Amino acid sequence: MSVADRLKELGIVLPEAVTPMAVYRPVTRAGNLLFLAGQVPMKDGSVLHPGRLGEDVTVEQGYEAARQCAINALAAVQGFLGTLEGIRLVKTTGFVASAPGFIQHPQVVNGASELLRDIFGTEDGIGARTAIGVAMLPANSPVEVELVMEVR
């Protein structure tokens, strides 16, 4: 099944790629690797569930925000390459804005990881991963996700 068919089956419509908030490229290619800049959960022009996990944002909301980060990352790849076919996930790094004592970072970042697995399958959609807590993120985002992907 193609990636486009899988997106349709999951009811996902990729948005236009998010405009960078500063001086950077959303995607940079080095050989067969794509390095994606950190994506925040922008949806319809604003941050989805702003705030910090364990304070203003629930684990379920953080999961949804991480999922939106992955959708935005795929929109950036689509805009860069013109396709999502022949892509394999290499690495996911998830940053979670966390209140002191919050320890459920992996469950939050699963929002991105599970979506990528569901789209690309277990062979191409599961890579290495890091999920870490930080004090704050740009635009009061609860999550930021960056990816490294391989073009085959």
For the chain, the domain total comes to: 1
Q: How far is CA 122 from the centre of its chain?
A: 17
What's the alpha-carbon Rg for the chain, to the nearest Å? 14
This prediction has a pTM of: 0.96
pLDDT tens string 7-54: 999 999 999 887 887 899 999 999 999 999 999 999 999 999 999 999
CA distances from 80 to 27, 134, 151 (A): 7, 29, 12
Q: Which residues contact 112 (CB under 8 A, 6 or more apart)?
A: 66, 67, 69, 70, 73, 92, 94, 143, 145
Which CATH number covers residue 109?
Answer: 3.30.1330.40
What pLDDT, on a 0 to 100 scale, did the predictor assign at position 117?
98
Mean pLDDT of the chain: 96
* Residue 138 domain flag: yes
Task: With respect to residue 93, please indicate whether it lies within any of the assigned structural domains.
Answer: yes
Task: Please report whether residue 16 resides in a domain.
Answer: no
| Domain assignment of residue 71, given as a range | 3-11+37-151
Q: Which two tokens stand for residue 142?
A: 């609860």
Instruction: Establish if 143 belongs to a structural domain.
Output: yes
pLDDT digits (tens, 9 = 90+) for 118-147: 999 999 999 999 999 999 999 999 999 999
